[in-house]
Amino acid sequence: MKNALIIGISGQDGAYLARLLLARGYNVFGTSRDAAANDFVRLRDLGIIGDVTLTTLDATVPEQVRQVIADVQPHELYNLGGLTSVGRSFDEPVEAVRSIAVATAVLLEGVRQAARSCRFYSAGSSEAFGDSGPSAATETTGFAPKSPYASAKADAHWQVANYRHAYGLFAVTGILFNHESRLRPADFVVPKIITAAHAIAHGQQGELVLGDIDVARDWGWAPEYVDAIWRMLQTDVPADYVVATGHSMTLREVAADAFDYFGLDWQQHVRTAPEMLRPNELRHSLGDPALAKRDLGWRAHTFGRDLVRTLAEGVAAAAAAATPVSVDAVRAS
> Is pLDDT at 278 greater than 60 in this prediction?
yes
Mean pLDDT of 210-217: 92
> Is pLDDT at 320 greater than 50 in this prediction?
yes
3-class secondary structure per residue, 94-162: HHHHHHHHHHHHHHHHHHHHHCCCCEEEEECCHHHHCCCCCCCECCCCCCCCCCHHHHHHHHHHHHHHH
> Is pLDDT at 233 greater than 90 in this prediction?
yes
| Opening angle at CA 69, ends 64 and 75, nearest 5 | 155
Residue 255 burial class via C-beta count within 10 angstroms: exposed 0-12, middle 13-18, buried 19 and up: buried
Between CA 240 and CA 242 the distance in angstroms is 7
Q: Which of 50-64, 129-143, 265-279 has the lowest mean pLDDT?
A: 265-279
> Is pLDDT at 296 greater than 60 in this prediction?
yes
> Is pLDDT at 162 greater than 80 in this prediction?
yes
- What DSSP state is assigned to residue 46? T
Q: Which domains does the chain have, with CATH numbers?
A: 3-179+219-243 (3.40.50.720), 183-218+248-282+303-332 (3.90.25.10)
Mean pLDDT of 96-125: 97
The pLDDT value recorded for residue 141 is 96
Q: How many CA atoms lie within 13 A of 233 on its CB side?
A: 25
Between CA 114 and CA 137 the distance in angstroms is 35
Kindly report the average pLDDT of the chain as a whole number: 93
The pLDDT value recorded for residue 131 is 86
Rg, the chain, Cα only: 19
The pLDDT value recorded for residue 327 is 46
Between CA 310 and CA 300 the distance in angstroms is 14
The pLDDT value recorded for residue 275 is 77
- For residue 55, the surrounding DSSP H or E stretch is strand 53-56
- What pTM value is reported for the model? 0.92
CA distances from residue 171 to 21, 30, 78, 132, 158 in whole angstroms, order as listed: 19, 19, 10, 26, 11
The pLDDT value recorded for residue 17 is 98
Give the catalytic positions in this structure: 125, 127, 149
The pLDDT value recorded for residue 186 is 83
Between CA 254 and CA 235 the distance in angstroms is 35
Between CA 333 and CA 330 the distance in angstroms is 5
Q: Which of 59-68, 122-131, 272-281 has the lowest mean pLDDT?
A: 272-281
> Is pLDDT at 333 greater than 70 in this prediction?
no
- Chain center to CA of 182: 13
Q: How many helices, marked H, and strands, marked E, lie in the chain?
A: 13, 13
Between CA 69 and CA 72 the distance in angstroms is 5
Mean pLDDT of 81-96: 91
